[in-house]
Structures are given as C-alpha cells and as structure tokens.
C-alpha cells in the first residue's frame, strides 16, 4: 500500500501544532465509521497504551566509586535487602523486579525498590566485594537516592507483551498463580492485557514499530531496542525489549506489586505512538476487542500444556463476565485498562503539545521468531511406572483376589480386550466386598472418576496427583486410553531423586 | 444498610440459641458474617438489618444476657490513590461490593462487603485494608 505521509511529515506537523492525534479507542470508532482509507487521510498518529504487571523488567544501576574503591562485581549487592545481580563491572548492578526481599520475602521486591527510587525515598545499599589491590574495600553499608546514582537505566527484556492467556481453576481448592488467586470450581477468570488498545495489537506486522522507535515509558521517554523475550509474532504474542531513563520517570506510572503467594513484579505504564503512514496501518488500528481471541486455560493443571476451558474474545473478558458451561463467571484483569486509557490520552497530549516527536525505526522487528519450550531432561511417568497387574471387569472376584495374593500387589487395573481402562480394584475394595457382596470384579471396582497419569507427564505431576487425590496408584494411559502400567507411591518414592 | 456489630460472649454465658432467640424476640434480621471461638470467649461479627428501634432492642437483649455489643463503623478502607485499577479484586469478590466503573476504575461499596478478605489478601499494591475488629 502506498504511503500517504512519512514520519517526517508528521514531525513537521507536530512542530507547527496542527497534527491530528487520536487515542486507540477513538481510532476504532473512526475506522468503523469512515473506513480505513478515509481514517488514514484524517488521522496522523494513533496513541496506544498499556499498564500491566511485568516481571521481566529491571534497572541497570551505577552507584559511583567509593573511596577506597570496592569491587561489587562478583560480590553481592543488596538494595533494601533485595539482592541485585552484581556479575558486572565494579559498581554496576542490575536490579530485577521479580527478585524478592531477603527479609520481607514476597511482600517486597525489586519492583518496590524501583518505586521507592522514583518516589525519591532513600534506599539502603549493602554491598560486599572481594578485596583486591586496587579495590581494597570489602563492605559498604550506606543509603542512596535516585539522585545519587550515576545512571539508573530501565531495561525491560519483555515489555508490551501482547497476550497472556486467561486463567481459571477447575479444582476444589484456592490456587495462587501469576495471574492472581483463582477461586475453586471455576470461581473466577483472570487475564492480563489491555486488549485492543494495547500497542502490539494495533501494529501486528511491525510496520511502524521497530528498533529505535521512541515510546512512552513510565511517564517519560523510552526507546524500543529490539524484539523482546518470548517474542512470538505469528501467534499474536509479540513482545518488545525497551529502555528508558528511570531518573525521569513519574511515580504515577510505576508501581511495585506483589502477587500473593507468587512473587513480586512491577506495574509499568507504556505507550507507543503509531504513525498512520497508509490505509493499511489505519486498518490495523481499527482492531476491536471482539476480534482478539483468547483461550481460558485451567491453571490447576501444573504442566506447560494446559487444557483449554473455553475459547473466548477480549470483548467477553472485558465485559466482566465469562460464560463457562452454563453459568456466568466473574472475570477481571491484572492489567489496568483505566491506566492504559489514561496513558493513551497522556501520550496524545504530549504529541499535541510538541513534547514528543516520532521516529523512523532503524531496523525492523523480526516476524519469524518462534517460541520454543525449554529443552529439558525430565523423568516421565512411563520411566518410573511398574507393569500393571490387569484383569477383566467380568472376571470373578476370587480370581482377582488370588492374583493379588500371588503377586503381593494390592492394586489391580481392570481393562477390556483392547487394553482400555475399565476401572481399578484395590485391596480396600476387596475388603468392602465382604460386606457389600458381589462376585465379579465389576461389582466392587472403582469405575468412575479414576485419576490417571498421561504417559509423558513429568513424574512430579504424577506424585502431586497421588498426594492430592490420596490414591494408591495411577494407571498410566497413552493418548488412546490404553493402559501401559501403573505409577504407585512406591515407584515415586524410590525412583525420584 | 444494616448496622455492623461485634458481639462478644464469655464462653460460660454463651448458648448456641442466643442469636436465634434474640432475632425472634426483637423481630430483626441478623446476618452472621464471621464467628470466632476461642478458649475464653465467642466473637460474632454480623449485620443487623432492621430499623433503629429494633436494632437497639436486639443489642439490649444481648447485653442483658451477658454479652458485650460493639457497633462497628467503617472497618474496611479503600485508598483510591494507591489503587492502580488492575481489577484483580473485582473477580475475587463474592458479592457486588467491588465493581468496575464505566472508565474501568474500581469502585468499592462496603455496604455489600461480607469481610471475606479476598481483596485485602490479594491486592498487589495494598490499596484496600481491613482496619481490625
């Protein structure tokens, strides 16, 4: 599509004061009403914003040299008892937001230290280094404020993350996840994105956002410095790596956060201006919440691949109610939509007032990057299981009991002739049959709600199931439901490190 | 809105039937929010839903039977300055005490609160707090 204006044209208009800037939510209406061609002619810039909780962010700090000098590099650096990474130069450190305090644990972390810095509070610095000839000081205990630091450069390896999945909980207990507390029995749904006003949804092809793009970060100006970690643009879950100057940031847009029983993080506000270079860019900015799909996953399952409970859209998520099965479940986010809208407006004002100029990216962001799972050596359920002692549900109970006694195993799996699971019979069921009667295995065996283990499931998950459901064993089944063996408590106990 | 009260009974005075009897006698509706039983006393937190006269009668009867009744003022506090409007508490609230405004800021209505403490325990920025009994 041919460009109708360049970034330079827009910057000239910003200088002269007749630039047309609209927020992302205003742009949706314009595109819906007038179509992308007309919208592109009318609008110069669209401002997008997000205010989400990030764990992949932090600040590079240079403390300045002490006298005599200290070599913190390779030593230890603690800021308000939160450890910072010190494997750098002699007085450099990187403070990550997810790092918890050594004293307050999950209630205070790197994110809170950053918040304290921006609020101009003094922060306790404890540093330990190994003494060398030119750096003889071993230990420093002092307080520092943001003004005392030479540099405090925020570098966020994963910012503006396009999509976190939505979460719910099928179990009958409360669970705590990175998406907040999840109430039992599908009690609530949580998600974390501003949806259609968040930056990367408005430029999914990275036509205008690239390396060098000037952005709004934490109340001040920042820059995109490349693709972010876990960047996966093809699956609509891209991310950007960004940097900004912490010294210029505003407390309103930076908040330390602690997620109960999960850890600490940082709420950070960011916004990206999108220059409307042509009708294609305008069309992309017209995306609405009902066009953004999201899956609700069951976070009770602690494996990487979680079962999808429901396929939904951001329109339903943002409405506050999600229908799961036949009932409405309350739904809310961890990413502030209120603040995201405020950032869109703030950035719009900055551009209108001539305080913010747009940039042409130096290089484009890759559209090819894929996200792979970790290469890992783990013990699977099939690796530890013992062969299953099997019978048929039509067999007589006497035979099954005999089998148990002969093999000295109190857990029998009933299967049909294709080896498909029918039920399980334990010595307890046999004991019960004395009272309840029954001559066949099927009369006494447990045949409903049997807890099983998938064949490639990590053994940690199997052992968690054994503990949680208080069962003696788990039949290991493959994808077709064929029984391959049994994971019993004994197998887990002796074979797992 | 009802009147929030905290009722304290020494164990030797307390009978399980005290509250139902008082409810019948005074003709009020009493909504129990929290019961705590310790080796020395029983603590009941609840809400009287009736007009002022009946509520006073309810409290009088309880006092006569050996209880200590304390009216509770605002026992929850929401700090809109601290709130970042992430909305996590909205879906955790079992009642309609926490709702989104049209502009996605968060609104608290403590009249509806049943003191489940979900919001207090889970707020990432400690914007909502319980001021104690």
Q: Mutate which of A100, A179, A333 to test chain B, going by most B C-beta atoms within 10 A? A: A333
Report the pLDDT value the prediction gives residue A91, as an integer from 0 to 100. Answer: 93
Say if the Cβ atoms of B104 and A335 lie within 8 Å. no
Examine the pLDDT at A496 and tell me if it is beyond 60. no
Question: In 3-state terms, chain B is what percent helix, strand and coil (to 5)?
Answer: 25, 30, 40
Report the pLDDT value the prediction gives residue A60, as an integer from 0 to 100. Answer: 97
Report the pLDDT value the prediction gives residue A158, as an integer from 0 to 100. Answer: 93
E-assigned strands of A305-407? 308-313, 321-324, 327-333, 363-364, 390-391
Examine the pLDDT at A497 and tell me if it is beyond 60. no
- Please tell me the distance from the alpha carbon of residue A347 to that of residue A199, in angstroms, as a whole number: 12
A217–chain B nearest CA distance, Å: 16
Residues 93-122 of B with CB under 8 A from A: 93, 100, 103-106, 118, 121-122
- Determine the number of helices (DSSP H) and then strands (DSSP E) in chain B: 4, 8
Interface of A with B (CB under 8 A): 51, 53, 180-181, 183, 188-190, 255-260, 265, 267, 320, 330-339, 341
Examine the pLDDT at A55 and tell me if it is beyond 80. yes
- Please tell me the distance from the alpha carbon of residue A129 to that of residue A136, in angstroms, as a whole number: 9
The answer to whether residue B79 neighbours chain A at the CB level (below 8 Å) is no
pLDDT over 90 percentage in chain A: 64
The answer to whether residue B84 neighbours chain A at the CB level (below 8 Å) is yes
pLDDT in tens, B84-129: 999 999 999 998 999 999 999 999 998 888 888 899 999 999 999 9
**Rg (chain B; Cα; Å):** 17
Whether residue A269 contacts residue A49, with contact meaning beta carbons closer than 8 Å, is answered with yes
Of A436, A304, A458, A305, the closest CA to residue A383 belongs to: A458
Say if the Cβ atoms of A337 and B87 lie within 8 Å. yes
> B76-130 adopts what CATH topology?
Alpha-Beta Plaits (3.30.70)
Report the pLDDT value the prediction gives residue B89, as an integer from 0 to 100. Answer: 94
The DSSP output letter for A165 is P
A259 vs B85, B103, B124: nearest CB? B124
Q: Comparing B3-71 with B76-130, is the CATH topology the same?
A: yes
Report the pLDDT value the prediction gives residue A340, as an integer from 0 to 100. Answer: 95
Of A32, A39, A14, the closest CA to residue A281 belongs to: A39
Query: Domain-by-domain residue ranges, chain B?
Result: 3-71, 76-130
Say if the Cβ atoms of B121 and A330 lie within 8 Å. no
Say if the Cβ atoms of A267 and B84 lie within 8 Å. yes
Residue A134 designated active-site: yes
Whether residue A141 contacts residue A293, with contact meaning beta carbons closer than 8 Å, is answered with no
What band does A184 get if pLDDT is binned at 50, 70 and 90? very high
What band does B71 get if pLDDT is binned at 50, 70 and 90? confident
B100–chain A nearest CA distance, Å: 8
Kindly compute the dihedral angle of the four CA atoms of residues B49, B54, B60, B62, in this order, to the nearest 10 degrees: -40
Say if the Cβ atoms of B84 and A190 lie within 8 Å. no
**A384-394: average pLDDT:** 86
Provide the pairing of β-strand A82-84 with A76-79. Answer: antiparallel
- Closest residue in B to A319 (Cα–Cα): B100
The CA-atom distances, in angstroms, between A362 and each of A47, A210, A243, A358 are: 20, 7, 15, 12
**A321-325: average pLDDT:** 91
Whether residue A27 contacts residue A333, with contact meaning beta carbons closer than 8 Å, is answered with no
Count, residues in chain B: 133
Concatenating the DSSP letter of every residue in A57-116 gives -EEEEE----SS-B--TTSEEEETTEEEB--SSTTEEEEETTPEETTTEEEEEHHHHHHH
Mean pLDDT of chain A: 91
pTM of the predicted model as reported, rounded to 2 decimal places: 0.80
> Which CATH code for domain A381-495?
3.10.580.10
A84–chain B nearest CA distance, Å: 22
Enumerate the residues of chain A whose CB falls inside 8 A of the CB of residue B128: none
Q: How many CA atoms lie within 13 A of A16 on its CB side?
A: 8
> B3-71 adopts what CATH topology?
Alpha-Beta Plaits (3.30.70)
Enumerate the residues of chain A whose CB falls inside 8 A of the CB of residue B121: 181, 260
Examine the pLDDT at A301 and tell me if it is beyond 60. yes
Q: Is B20 helix (H, G, I), strand (E, B) or coil?
A: helix
Query: Which residues have C-beta within 8 Å of that of residue A1, sequence separation ≥ 6?
Result: A278, A279, A280
B31–chain A nearest CA distance, Å: 23
A338 vs B88, B93, B103: nearest CB? B103
**A341-356: average pLDDT:** 95
Q: What tokens were used for A180?
A: 């907040």
Catalytic residue among A100, A130, A134, A391: A134
Enumerate the residues of chain B whose CB falls inside 8 A of the CB of residue A255: 84, 125
Report the pLDDT value the prediction gives residue A163, as an integer from 0 to 100. Answer: 74
Distance from the Cα of residue A455 to its chain's centroid: 27
pLDDT in tens, A485-494: 898 888 877 6
B7–chain A nearest CA distance, Å: 30
Query: Domain-by-domain residue ranges, chain A?
Result: 7-55+155-364, 64-149, 381-495
Of A461, A469, A460, A462, the closest CA to residue A485 belongs to: A462
- Please tell me the distance from the alpha carbon of residue A167 to that of residue A358, in angstroms, as a whole number: 37
Report the pLDDT value the prediction gives residue A362, as an integer from 0 to 100. Answer: 94
Report the pLDDT value the prediction gives residue A495, as an integer from 0 to 100. Answer: 60
Report the pLDDT value the prediction gives residue A1, as an integer from 0 to 100. Answer: 63
Of A476, A480, A473, the closest CA to residue A418 belongs to: A480
């Amino acid at each position: 599509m041919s460009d109708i204006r360049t970034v330079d044209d827009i910057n000239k208009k910003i200088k002269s004061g007749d630039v047309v800037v609209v927020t992302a939510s205003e742009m949706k209406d314009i595109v819906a009403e007038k179509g992308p061609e007309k919208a592109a002619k009318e609008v110069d810039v669209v401002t997008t914003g997000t205010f989400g909780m990030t764990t992949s962010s932090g600040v590079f700090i240079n403390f300045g040299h002490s006298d005599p000098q200290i070599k913190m590099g390779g030593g230890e650096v603690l800021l308000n008892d939160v450890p910072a990474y010190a494997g750098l130069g002699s007085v450099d450190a990187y403070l990550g937001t997810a790092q918890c305090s050594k004293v307050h644990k999950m209630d205070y972390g790197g994110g809170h230290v950053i918040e304290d810095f921006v609020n101009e509070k003094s922060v306790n610095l404890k540093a330990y280094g190994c003494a060398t000839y030119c750096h003889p000081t071993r230990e420093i205990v002092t307080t520092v404020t943001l003004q005392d630091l030479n540099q405090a450069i925020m570098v966020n390896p994963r910012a503006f993350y396009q999509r976190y999945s939505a979460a719910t909980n099928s179990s009958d207990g409360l669970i705590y996840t990175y998406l907040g507390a999840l109430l039992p029995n599908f009690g609530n749904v949580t998600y974390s994105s501003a949806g259609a006003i968040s930056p990367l949804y408005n430029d999914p092809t990275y036509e205008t956002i690239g390396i060098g793009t000037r952005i709004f970060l934490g109340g001040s100006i920042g820059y995109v410095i490349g693709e972010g970690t876990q960047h996966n643009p093809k699956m609509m879950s891209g991310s950007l790596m960004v940097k900004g100057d912490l010294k210029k940031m505003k407390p309103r847009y930076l908040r330390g956060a602690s997620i109960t029983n999960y850890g600490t993080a940082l709420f950070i506000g960011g916004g990206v201006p999108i220059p409307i270079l042509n009708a294609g860019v305008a069309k992309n900015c017209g995306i609405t919440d009902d066009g953004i799909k999201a899956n609700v996953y069951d976070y009770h399952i602690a494996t990487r691949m979680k079962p999808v409970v429901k396929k939904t859209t951001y329109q339903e998520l943002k409405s506050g109610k999600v229908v799961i099965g036949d009932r409405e479940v309350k739904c809310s986010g961890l990413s502030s939509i209120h603040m995201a809208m405020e950032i869109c407006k703030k950035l719009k004002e900055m551009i209108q007032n001539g305080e913010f100029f747009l940039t042409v990216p130096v290089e484009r962001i890759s559209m090819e990057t894929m996200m792979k799972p970790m290469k890992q050596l783990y013990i699977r359920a099939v690796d530890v299981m013992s062969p299953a002692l099997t019978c048929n549900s039509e067999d007589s109970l006497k035979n099954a009991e005999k089998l148990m006694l002969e093999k000295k195993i109190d857990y029998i799996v009933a299967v049909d002739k294709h080896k498909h699971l029918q039920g399980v019979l334990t010595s307890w069921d046999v004991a019960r049959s004395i009272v309840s009667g029954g001559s066949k295995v099927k009369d006494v065996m447990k045949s409903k709600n049997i807890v099983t283990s998938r064949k490639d499931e990590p053994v940690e998950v199997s052992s968690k199931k054994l503990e949680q459901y208080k069962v003696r064993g788990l039949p290991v089944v493959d994808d077709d439901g064929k029984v391959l063996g049994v994971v019993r408590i004994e197998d887990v106990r002796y074979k797992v490190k | 809105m009802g009147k929030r009260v905290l009722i304290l009974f020494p164990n030797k005075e307390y009978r399980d039937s005290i509250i139902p009897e008082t409810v019948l006698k005074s003709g009020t509706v009493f909504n129990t929010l929290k019961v705590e039983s310790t080796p020395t006393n029983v603590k009941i937190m609840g809400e009287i839903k009736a007009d002022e006269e009946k509520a006073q009668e309810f409290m009088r009867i309880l006092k006569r039977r050996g209880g200590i009744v304390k009216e509770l003022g605002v026992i929850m506090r929401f700090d809109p300055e601290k709130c970042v409007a992430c909305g996590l508490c909205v879906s955790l609230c079992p009642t309609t005490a926490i709702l989104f405004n049209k502009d996605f800021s968060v609104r608290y209505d403590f009249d509806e609160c049943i003191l489940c403490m979900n919001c207090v325990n889970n707020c990432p920025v400690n914007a909502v707090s319980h001021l104690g009994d």
